[in-house]
A and B are shown apart, each in its own frame.
Chain A
C-alpha cells in the first residue's frame, strides 16, 4: 500500500529511506569506472523527482517537462560558452531562475486548463523550446549543439575530472538537496493540499483552497528542479544538444516514473535505473526493436502493476507481513 501523506502520517525518516544514499556511496567506491554514467543517473533521478512532484502529488499531467530540463541545460551551456561564466553555483542558479520563470509564465496559462488541453499545451511548450533551440544557432549551436562547456572547480578546489568523481559527488549533493526539499514539501500541509487537489479539485475549491495558485506554484518549483537537473547534465557532460528538449526526453521521463512508481517519491530513484537496464538489455537482444520492448514493459506495468516496481515491492511486503501476522495469530 502507498505510504500515506498527510495529517495522519508519520513524517519521520524510515531506515529504508537511507538505502538510496548508502547505495550511491557504495557505487562510488565499488564502480569507479562508471561514475560518469552514475552522475547521469543521479541527474535523471532529480529530473524524475521534479516530475513526480507535479504528476504524482499534484496530478498535473505533462508531456513537456523536458522544456525546463533543456532550458536549464542550455542556460548553463550558453553561460559558459558564450559569456565565459564557469562558476558551477552561478550556472545552477541561472538555470534554476530561467526554468522557474518559464515554469511560472507557462504554468500561469497551462494550469487554467485540464485533461487533454493541458497535456497538449505542455507538449506545445516543449516543441516551441525545441524549435527555438534549433533555429537560434548563434546562441545554441543549433543541431550541432554547444561543445566545450567549462565548469570551474567547486569552491575553487574540486576540479571536474575525466573519471567523473567530482561530477558524481556534485550531482549526489544536489540530488540530496532536491530530495530533502521534495520530501519536506510532500509531508507538509502544502503537500497534503496538493494530494487533495489531485484527488478532488472540486472539493478543494469548495473548502476555499486557492487551487490555481497552488498548482502554478508547484509547477514552478518543479520547473526549477528540472532546470537544475538540466544544468547538472551540461556540467557533467560538458556538452549540450537538442536531445535534451522536445517530446522524446519528456516521454522517456514519464515512462521512467511510471516504471518506478508515480507519487511514491522513491519511484523517481528506481524508474531511471529500471528504464536504462531494460533499454540496455533489449538493445543488445533486439537492436532494431528495443523500443517495442520498452512499450510492452510499460503496458504490462500499467495493466498489472500500476504502482510500478515500488508498488510490486509494497504488495509483496504487505503479503509477507500478513502471512507472518497470520502465522503468529
Chain B
C-alpha cells in the first residue's frame, strides 16, 4: 500500500518546550490508524501540524506524495485533508443541513457565489442530506445544530468533514464527552465510512480504539514511543507503563 500522509522528522517547539520531536509517521491509503497517548502527549498538536493550523519548527509533511509543509490549511483541505475537532466546532445558530452544506459548497466551489440563493443549489443540499442519511441523522437536518444531543453533534462534525470528500480524515477524539450508547453509534458510523478514506483517529476510549484501528501509534511527550498492530500494542510493556504506571523491568 502507498502512503497518503507522511511526516519526516516533524518538530514543533514553543521556546524551550518541545511538543513534537522528530515524528516520523506514515498513514497508508485506506488505513484505520489510531494515535494514542496520555494527556499532554502532543496528539492534538500533531494533528494541528498535519492540517497546517500550526507551522512546524522543522521537518516535513507530505500529502499524497506532495510536500505540503509550506501550504496553508485551506490548500491542504483542497488536496484532500479533512479533520474534526476535539471540542465541537459547529456553526451554532445554523441548521444541521446548513452546517454540512457549508463544507459541501466549499468543496464544490460554489461557496463564493453570491448571485443565486443558497437554497437553489439543489446539488449541494442533496449531497449534504445524503451525508446526513449515511450517518443516520437525516431527520435532524432542519434542526438548529446546538439543539441536538452532544453525540449527534459529534456526528455532524464528522458529516462536515466528509462533505469535503477527504482522502485523509483526522478524527480528534470523536467520542469525547459522549455517553457509551452514543459512542457505539459513532463507532458504527465510523465503521461504515468508505474504505478509500484513510482515517487517523485520536481517542482516549481504548475500547473504541482497539475495535476500530488496524494500526496504532503511541505518542508520549511529543515522541513516537512505538507503533504496531493493536495486539502488539496491547502487549507492549512500555505502553502499559505509560498508561498504568507498570514497570517493564
Contacts and interface: CB of A to CB of B under 8 A. Distances in A.
Interface string B94-122: 11011001110111001111111111110
Given A6-B95, A189-B113, A195-B94, A208 B118 contact: no
Nearest to B81: A208
Interface in B120-171: 120-121, 124-125, 128, 141-142, 160-161, 163-164
Contacts of B90: 200, 203
A193 interface: yes
B112 A207 contact: no
Given A190-B114, A196-B102, A199-B91, A7 B51 contact: no
Interface stretch (A22-30, A180-188, A227-235, A311-319): A180-188
Contacts of B128: 7
B78 interface: yes
Contact of A203 (B91, B107, B125): B91
A209 B106 contact: yes
19 contacts: A4-B94, A4-B95, A7-B105, A9-B119, A11-B117, A11-B119, A187-B118, A188-B114, A188-B117, A190-B113, A192-B105, A195-B93, A196-B91, A200-B90, A204-B102, A206-B51, A207-B77, A208-B77, A210-B74
Contacts of A208: 73-75, 77-78, 106-107, 164
Nearest to B73: A205
Contacts of B53: 205-206
A195 B92 CA distance: 10
Contacts of B118: 5-7, 9, 11, 187-189, 191-192
Contact of A192 (B75, B98, B115): B98
Nearest to B103: A207
A200 B89 CA distance: 7
A6 B115 contact: no
Contacts of A131: none
Contacts of A302: none
Contact of B115 (A184, A204, A210): A184
Interface residues of B, number: 45
Interface of A: 2, 4-11, 184-185, 187-193, 195-196, 199-200, 202-211, 214
A264 to B, nearest CB: 13
Contacts of B77: 206-208
A193 B105 contact: yes
A206 B90 CA distance: 11
B83 interface: yes
B89 A203 contact: yes
Contacts of A209: 74, 102, 106, 111
Contacts of B124: 7, 189
A300 to B, nearest CB: 24
A208 B121 CA distance: 19
A8 B112 contact: no
B210 interface: no
Nearest to A218: B114
